[in-house]
């Protein structure tokens, strides 16, 4: 029961409900299969049947959670019946009752606890990821040589370790499961992950190119300003620096456009909910 409760408890109510559906379908299917097996197969065949179910569950654990859960129900019930001599009918009924109790507790905890652990909205995630990437580029500008051509290939400077970790954390958070309001508005997590990849690519390219001596402190500072949307001057220093600043500007522009698109989706979703309330239809929470 405790395993079922914690297995379905996710960071958002929608995901908790999805996990609960998977577990209910899997356990119910497993119990049904085991009931048929107990009815048709002799007792001596239960152990081989359980072992086959274990192999199937391991094979399906990454591709089909429902079938995998059902397979392990067959394994658990079959092994208990064979090794401990338990009554199979009573074991199946207890399994179902414990499942529903665990799912109910998990959903109750999800309803009570998850709202207090609600993820940030997409706009805030983008702001944090952009700010962390800008800070990393500016820190890099403060430690690289002022002129190009002095490579430092062997290690990341100590001054960049913490900003790099903060940037990675913010970027991973941008691509993590969405806030429920963003889900209902139609924001796509794949688009968040794509934007997170752009931030990460910009930061990695900046550090590697600076370490190879191909980016100057001035260029990194100009790229940070371009990403933040505060750049005014065109950097000097050849093709690669100019392209890097243009890349930073493009990432900053795409992040701004993405936030605007998410805000428009949220407004449309709010208008749709208001329209539904006006016509007497309330979307379940």
Number of domains in the chain: 2
User: Containing domain of residue 147, as a range?
Assistant: 120-278
Q: Once rounded to an integer, what is the mean pLDDT over residues 139-167? A: 71
Residue 149 has a pLDDT of 55
Which of 116, 138, 169 is the last residue before a domain boundary? 116
pLDDT 10s digits, 160-185: 888 888 888 888 888 777 766 777 77
**Contact at 8 Å (CB) between 78 and 30?**
no
Residue 12 has a pLDDT of 59
**More confident of the two residues 202 and 120:** 202
Residue 114's pLDDT band, with cuts at 50, 70 and 90, is low
Both 130 and 193 in a single domain? yes
Residue 285 lies in a domain: no
Both 81 and 167 in a single domain? no
pLDDT 10s digits, 184-233: 778 787 888 888 899 999 988 888 888 777 888 888 888 898 898 876 55
Both 77 and 40 in a single domain? yes
Residue 269 lies in a domain: yes
Residue 79 lies in a domain: yes
**More confident of the two residues 211 and 277:** 211
**More confident of the two residues 270 and 151:** 270
Residue 154 has a pLDDT of 46
User: For tokens 């001035």, what's the residue?
Assistant: 218
Both 187 and 259 in a single domain? yes
Both 263 and 185 in a single domain? yes
Both 69 and 90 in a single domain? yes
Which of 116, 150, 182 is the last residue before a domain boundary? 116
Residue 15's pLDDT band, with cuts at 50, 70 and 90, is low
**Contact at 8 Å (CB) between 201 and 32?**
no
Both 178 and 112 in a single domain? no
Both 257 and 180 in a single domain? yes
Residue 42's pLDDT band, with cuts at 50, 70 and 90, is confident
Which of 83, 116, 149 is the last residue before a domain boundary? 116
**Contact at 8 Å (CB) between 74 and 53?**
yes
Distance between CA atoms of residues 40 and 75, nearest Å = 17
Both 25 and 124 in a single domain? no
Q: How far is CA 61 from CA 14, 54, 149, 161, 213, in A?
A: 22, 10, 51, 37, 47
Both 230 and 137 in a single domain? yes
Distance between CA atoms of residues 196 and 129, nearest Å = 8
With a cut of 50, say whether residue 236 has pLDDT above it: no
Q: How far is CA 66 from CA 27, 61, 236, in A?
A: 8, 9, 58
Percent above pLDDT 90 for the chain = 4
Residue 283 lies in a domain: no
Residue 168 lies in a domain: yes
Left (φ > 0), alpha (ψ -120 to 50) or beta: where does 238 sit? Answer: left
Which pairs from 125-128 meet CB under 8 Å and 24+ separation? Answer: 125/170, 125/173, 125/174, 125/192, 126/174, 126/195, 126/255, 126/258, 126/259, 127/259, 128/170, 128/173, 128/174
Q: Once rounded to an integer, what is the mean pLDDT over residues 70-97? A: 78
Residue 28 has a pLDDT of 84
């Amino acid at each position: 029961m405790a395993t079922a409760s914690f297995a379905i408890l996710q960071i958002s109510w929608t995901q908790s409900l999805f996990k609960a559906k998977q577990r209910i379908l899997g356990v119910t299917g497993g119990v049904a299969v085991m009931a048929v097996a107990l009815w048709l197969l002799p007792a001596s065949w239960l152990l081989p049947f359980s072992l086959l179910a274990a192999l199937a569950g391991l094979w399906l654990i990454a591709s089909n959670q429902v079938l995998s859960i059902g397979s392990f129900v067959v394994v658990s019930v079959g092994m208990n019946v064979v090794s401990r001599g338990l009554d199979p009918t009573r074991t199946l009924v207890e399994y179902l009752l414990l499942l529903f109790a665990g799912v109910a507790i998990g959903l109750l905890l999800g309803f009570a606890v998850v709202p207090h652990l609600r993820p940030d909205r997409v706009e805030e995630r983008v702001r944090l990821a952009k700010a962390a990437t800008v800070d990393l580029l500016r820190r890099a500008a403060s430690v690289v040589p002022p002129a190009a051509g002095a490579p430092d290939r062997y290690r990341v400077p100590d001054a960049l370790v913490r900003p790099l970790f903060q940037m990675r954390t913010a970027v991973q958070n941008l691509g993590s499961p969405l806030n429920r309001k963003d889900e209902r508005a139609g924001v796509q997590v794949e688009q968040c992950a794509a934007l997170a990849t752009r931030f990460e690519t910009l930061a990695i390219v900046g550090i590697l190119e600076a370490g190879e001596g191909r980016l100057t402190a001035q260029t990194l500072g100009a790229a940070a300003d371009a990403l933040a949307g505060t750049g005014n001057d065109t950097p000097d220093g050849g093709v690669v620096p100019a392209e890097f600043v243009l890349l930073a500007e493009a990432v900053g522009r795409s992040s701004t456009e993405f936030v605007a698109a998410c805000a428009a989706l949220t407004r449309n979703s709010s208008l749709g909910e208001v329209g539904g309330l006006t016509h007497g239809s309330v979307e379940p929470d």
